[in-house]
Structure 1
Amino acid sequence: MADQAQDEMTEVRSEGDEGYERGLGSRQIQMIAIGGAIGTGLFLGAGTAISKAGPSLILSYAVAGLVIFVIMRALGELLTYRPVSGSFAEYAREFLGPFAGYVTGWTYWLFWVVTGMAETTAAAVYVRFWAPGIPQWASALVFLVILYAANLISVKLFGEIEFWFSMVKVTAIIGMILIGVGVLTLGFSDAADTASVSNLWADGGFFPKGIGSTVMTLQIVMFAYLGVELVGVTAGESAEPEKNLPRAINTLPWRIMLFYIGALTIILALVPWREFSPGVSPFVAAFGKIGIPAAAGIINFVVLTAALSSCNSGMYSTGRMLRDLAQRGQAPGRLTALNSRRTPALAITVSALLMGLGVVLNYLVPAKAFEYITSVATVCGLWTWAVILVAQLRYRRAWQRGDLPAPTFKAPGGAWPSRLALAFLVLVVVLIAIDEDSRISLYVFPVWAAALVVGYQVLKRVRPQAVLAHPGHSEARPEAGRDAHPEPRPQAAPRG
């Protein structure tokens, strides 16, 4: 049975990513993974979270970071089992059934479309630091067009852009931490009189607004971690996925410790927490107070780079996920087409046009655009993470029975960490429902869910073969009965 399962695994590994160029090498995969952990949620969203929780926000990032590591190790098990493009939807199809795969594919696509809106919004906010007279919507539109053009060229160019975007972010954060340590220990800068580690507890204690307020920031913090799972989408274009993907996932703990917890600790020690305000990057504010010439401008450039990096990732992932849906017959067939450079040009174009709705929001409600968009993106991301965890638990039971081959990259701790992580995600949804500013996402998501249900029912009638589960073991498809038919293998998309 294990040999047969191994043969099936080898067969399905060839599916789904046909036609793509495996042009992402080790250094690009590493930097994409690092870049996914440093984004607008940290650079811009942390200002709001600090004003709500004070220094205890550091604890929120630590707890949420631990949960994210559990999710990523669960994803690592699945990736070494089947490293395919559109991985989350594929795992949902195999282990949770065809409807779950359909919902996950479209929801992850929506997640990155909405995230692209958020990141172009954030980038437009950063531009106002230098040019307050430029309309927010105009900057957002320019950035969207530039990144769209870059993504049409090749996956190698995408990888190089992400590599250098991430390099800027990593270098800058390390530099900020070193400068902050210098200010705290040597006392050079305009902030020397107030900069002190005691700022972490001197003004109202470590929990100045109570533990409840700290817990409420978890839903803001989880948005900051959205995108770390992008490494799973790159599986279909990674040169050596069995080696590169586990290596990228294993670097996650030190990335969280350094880039999130370390950077926030330094920032909150440099400047008393009450001096930060929502809508203003705490990094820009802190280094503006230090008094180093052009420091605030440099940091603003870095956070602008972070926003563009995340939007660039959104362009990449939406195109791949939409093409995967089209290959399954769950989106228009023309979206399977690849251009001469083997990129899903039409799928990227459709996604970019929808990201353009973010430009409209920046025109209509510039003050609220980022807040509205990020709340919707968070719920979409929570669904994807939950699917990863449940699929991993199903896969774990299957390989323990001998129905499927065991992973070469096993998650530590057995099944319990994944179950606890699922419970944590449920808590975050409850917090979103309680928070008036974030509750809008819970109004949007039922509408999205209803649209998916209607679309699925139509699809079953028009293209019944498009909603069948991926061939696999019986537990992966509990609804499959004696009348079920094997899912047809997707055809290779044209390269022209």
Structure 2
Amino acid sequence: MSAQPTLAKAGGNPVQPGNPQPSDGLQAGLKNRHLSMIAIGGVIGAGLFVGSSGGIAAAGPAILLSYTLVGALVVFVMRMLGEMAAANPTSGSFSAYADRALGRWAGFSIGWLYWFFWVVVLAVEATAGAKILEGWIPAVPQWGWALIVMVVLTATNLVSVSSYGEFEFWFAGIKVVAIGGFVVIGLLAVFGVLPGSDNPGTGFAHLTDSGGFFPHGPGAILTGVLMVVFSFMGSEIVTLAAGESSDPQRAVTKATNSVIWRIGVFYLGSIFVVLTLLPWNDKSIVKDGSYVAALNSIGIPHAGQIMNVIVLTAVLSCLNSGLYTASRMAFSLGQRGDAPKSFAVTNKQGVPTAAILSSVAFGFVAVFFNYKWPDTVFAFLLNSSGAVALFVWLVICFTQLRMRGIILREAPEKLIVKMWLFPYLTWATAAMITFVIVYMAFDDAAREQVLLSLLVAAVVVGIAFIREKLRRDREKAEQSA
């Protein structure tokens, strides 16, 4: 058996550079500019804009170290994923690689858990966007806006992959320009050189002038980690999307190599600006949100509405990418026989219609649960999917440990991207992720989330093992017949 077909077992058929259409039915409709912006925008979620204030309140200026720790984990995980994706780009990404390296049960389990995570995110983001839109046009009820947003983005995903890429290009572009502008303007105000700024321009004084850099002690860094870790989910989307581009290896390599500066500028840079413009315990950070409070301190008029527009863009971007990601994972599961075969069927435009519609249908149901039973059914869905990001990262670590040997044995020329200090840094990353999961189990605020997520994961893994046993029994029966 040649190296190429063996590597193709990782899920779907690989796409070679210059090949206009993947042989698995998907079309190479994503251009380089689409993938570049998907890679950049993938690390800027709505959680960065709306969730950072809680982390700042919990850890003070030390939240910068929390973001640095989680950012390092994401960089390492993306490096591992980039190594595997550059060798064999596929719509199933880490789920397909886990299938090959760890066993069918692993690919099945992490694929369905990841799908579950994103369809719940669809409901969360649709509701968040609907709240903003209802504030602008109250004549349309919140549920109506959620429905409109979901229908519009479903339609764009159904048309073609290029329409998804085009929408995401502009959504992500707005986020990138907004964050970049915020960092530049904020730094000018920090050093007192921004014309007309209302901020006193105290330099770095606010990092230590309100109880020091560790106002709640060094232990608050870990509390901050738990609060910010989920805002990083989405960086891996580019490895799924690369399978629908004309040159996936180049796209994956570029995205993997650029993840360090993306996290450094967009996360650490913007949070650093907030903490230097205002004391960490300024009440406006929690009341108005960290970014709105920072803009208000500069004296930018209508800061709240400006930020609402940016947050809405981030929400729509997350919805767009969430629907795309969930559908492509469902498509890959269908290809491997781990989901209904209809999920792996594409139309003339190379779009997996059934995979998209099934994903958005669950999203619609989750939106209904959010309105009907927000504190019971929807809270369960939210908590039971909350730690999936960490599970995905952990599986990527263990998968890469096995896949490195497989790639070297079967197609060493495809090892274009390499994980640093292999295998030591891979093991260290896995240990850190495991530590965070265990720490969550002992944290009062995060315990329910991690325990429910573990429960759902255990159920899915149990189903995977039962399916495998039934499959083996069926094969034995066929052989003995």
- Please confirm whether the aligned pair reaches a TM-score higher than 0.5, indicating the same fold: yes
Distance 2:289 2:381 in 1: 18
Distance 1:81 1:30 in 2: 19
Shift of 1:339: 2.6
What is the aligned partner in structure 1 of residue 219 from structure 2?
A: 212
What is the aligned partner in structure 1 of residue 257 from structure 2?
A: 250
What is the aligned partner in structure 2 of residue 96 from structure 1?
A: 102
What is the aligned partner in structure 2 of residue 479 from structure 1?
A: none
Instruction: Deviation per CA, 1:293-328: give whole Å up to 9, x if none.
Output: 223312221121111101111100111111211222
What is the aligned partner in structure 1 of residue 352 from structure 2?
A: 344
Matched ranges for 1:145-294 at <5 A: 145-184=151-190, 185-186=192-193, 188=195, 191-193=198-200, 196-274=203-281, 275-276=283-284, 278=286, 281-294=289-302
What is the aligned partner in structure 2 of residue 15 from structure 1?
A: 13
Identify which of 114, 120, 128 aligns with 1:122.
128
What is the aligned partner in structure 1 of residue 324 from structure 2?
A: 316
Matched ranges for 1:319-468 at <5 A: 319-364=327-372, 375-399=383-407, 402-405=409-412, 407-456=415-464, 459-460=467-468
What is the aligned partner in structure 2 of residue 5 from structure 1?
A: 3
* Contact preservation (8 Å) 2:60, 2:214: yes
Question: Structure 2 regions of 5+ residues with no counterpart?
Answer: 15-21
Letter paired with 1:440? E
Q: Name the TM-score, length of structure 1 as normaliser.
A: 0.86
* Contact preservation (8 Å) 2:199, 2:297: no
Shift of 1:119: 2.1
What is the aligned partner in structure 2 of residue 66 from structure 1?
A: 72
Bigger mean CA deviation after superposition, 70-79 or 289-298: 289-298
* Contact preservation (8 Å) 1:80, 1:241: yes
Distance 2:378 2:57 in 1: 17
Distance 1:367 1:95 in 2: 39
Letter paired with 2:38? I
Shift of 1:345: 1.4
Matched ranges for 1:107-118 at <5 A: 107-118=113-124
Instruction: Deviation per CA, 1:257-310: give whole Å up to 9, x if none.
Output: 110111111112122222255585311232234332223312221121111101
Bigger mean CA deviation after superposition, 354-363 or 59-68: 354-363
Distance 1:203 1:170 in 2: 31
Distance 1:412 1:120 in 2: 38
Closer/same/farther in 2, CA of residues 231 and 194 from structure 1, 3 Å limit: same
Distance 2:55 2:257 in 1: 28
Provide the aligned C-alpha RMSD in A.
3.0
Closer/same/farther in 2, CA of residues 9 and 336 from structure 1, 3 Å limit: closer
Distance 1:203 1:80 in 2: 47
* Contact preservation (8 Å) 1:375, 1:439: no
* Contact preservation (8 Å) 1:60, 1:218: yes
Bigger mean CA deviation after superposition, 40-49 or 5-14: 5-14
Bigger mean CA deviation after superposition, 427-436 or 18-27: 427-436
Instruction: Deviation per CA, 1:106-145: give whole Å up to 9, x if none.
Output: 1111121122223223323444664679755443333222
Distance 1:70 1:26 in 2: 24
Distance 1:392 1:461 in 2: 26
Identify which of 20, 28, 43 aligns with 2:34.
28
Closer/same/farther in 2, CA of residues 408 and 193 from structure 1, 3 Å limit: closer
Distance 2:31 2:305 in 1: 33
Distance 1:369 1:31 in 2: 35
Instruction: Deviation per CA, 1:207-246: give whole Å up to 9, x if none.
Output: 1111112211112221111010111111320210111110
Closer/same/farther in 2, CA of residues 119 and 14 from structure 1, 3 Å limit: closer
What is the aligned partner in structure 1 of residue 92 from structure 2?
A: 86
Distance 1:240 1:465 in 2: 41
Closer/same/farther in 2, CA of residues 428 and 454 from structure 1, 3 Å limit: closer
Closer/same/farther in 2, CA of residues 190 and 12 from structure 1, 3 Å limit: closer
Letter paired with 1:207? F
Q: Secondary structure at the match of 1:44?
A: helix
Distance 1:291 1:254 in 2: 29
Letter paired with 1:192? N
* Contact preservation (8 Å) 1:76, 1:249: yes
Shift of 1:462: 6.3
Bigger mean CA deviation after superposition, 346-355 or 406-415: 406-415
Shift of 1:434: 2.6
Distance 2:82 2:417 in 1: 6
Distance 1:465 1:403 in 2: 30
* Contact preservation (8 Å) 1:287, 1:299: no
Distance 2:139 2:53 in 1: 23
Distance 1:344 1:85 in 2: 11
Bigger mean CA deviation after superposition, 276-285 or 341-350: 276-285
Bigger mean CA deviation after superposition, 111-120 or 46-55: 111-120
Letter paired with 2:41? G
Q: Name the TM-score, length of structure 2 as normaliser.
A: 0.88
